[in-house]
Amino acid sequence: MSDMLVPLYRLPKENEPSTDFSIRRALAPEKSIILTWVKDHFGQGWSDECDVAFSNAPVTCYIAIQDEKLIGFACYDATMKNFFGPTGVKEDARGLGAGKALLLRCFHSMKEAGYGYGIIGGAGPVEFYEHTLGAIAIPNSKPGIYAGMLRSTPTSANS
Ligand SMILES: CC(C)(COP(=O)(O)OP(=O)(O)OC[C@H]1O[C@@H](n2cnc3c(N)ncnc32)[C@H](O)[C@@H]1OP(=O)(O)O)[C@@H](O)C(=O)NCCC(=O)NCCS
């Protein structure tokens, strides 16, 4: 998966707040709840990246909430400065616009922080980022910063 580039000087405007969910910056006291949720829904690696977002001030993680429950999250400045991700919306809440709202909130926040461009690291659904942001793939960016990254393997009795 290649990285993708997003020009922050022509970001789409954020939508009006939805009646289905709300988006806000995560609070430090919510860290354990959010990291556990991310681990349960998207795995340890993304939870670890999210943990780094909580070490920034202000916290560089936004969350989507529906009926007082977490339905999605998005981070930036986690694995690399200027990188967006990880992000995820729980399966039964997809298609409501929360993924796009989180994405736009993070990129507008990056612009406010002084960045001119944002990078989506190892972009997953490329069409989602092309469609919502006009992001373009960065040539020769695969595997990029993730080259040689350790991956968890199933534990064996002798390891
Ligand atoms: C990608 C993801 C965050 C999208 O969240 P979502 O809440 O379902 O997305 P939205 O409802 O905000 O969709 C916004 C727009 O993008 C489109 N879209 C959503 N997912 C898409 C996909 N996988 N491919 C192409 N377009 C997509 C929607 O149709 C919608 O279009 P519209 O604005 O014209 O109506 C979600 O599918 C997810 O969590 N996936 C698994 C984790 C993942 O892949 N994360 C990214 C890793 S880099």
pLDDT digits (tens, 9 = 90+) for 23-71: 999 999 999 999 999 999 999 999 999 999 999 999 999 999 999 999 9
- 17 Cβ closer than 6 Å to some ligand 1 atom: no
Cα separation of 59 and 54, whole Å?
A: 5
DSSP 27: P
Helix pair 126-133, 98-112: axis angle to 10 deg: 60
DSSP 39: H
Contact 111, 143 (CB under 8 A): no
- 146 Cβ closer than 6 Å to some ligand 1 atom: no
Q: What predicted TM-score, i.e. pTM, was given to this entire model?
A: 0.96
> How far from 15 is each of 5, 24, 116, 117, 136, CA to CA, in Å?
22, 14, 21, 21, 22
Average pLDDT, the chain: 95
Q: Which domains occur in the chain, in start order?
A: 4-12+20-146 (3.40.630.30)
Q: What integer is the mean pLDDT of 121-136? A: 95
Q: Cis omega before residue 29 (within 30°)?
A: no
- 125 Cβ closer than 6 Å to some ligand 1 atom: yes
**How many Å lie between the centroid of ligand 1 and the Cα of residue 91?**
10
Sheet hosting strand 117-120, strand order edge to edge: 22-25, 61-66, 69-76, 83-89, 117-120, 4-7, 136-137
Is 159's pLDDT higher than 60? no
Position 5, amino acid? L
**How many Å lie between the centroid of ligand 1 and the Cα of residue 106?**
15
The pLDDT, as a whole number, for residue 152 is 84
Query: Rounded to an integer, what is the distance from CA 154 to the centroid of its chain?
Result: 26
**How many Å lie between the centroid of ligand 1 and the Cα of residue 157?**
40
Q: What integer is the mean pLDDT of 123-139? A: 96
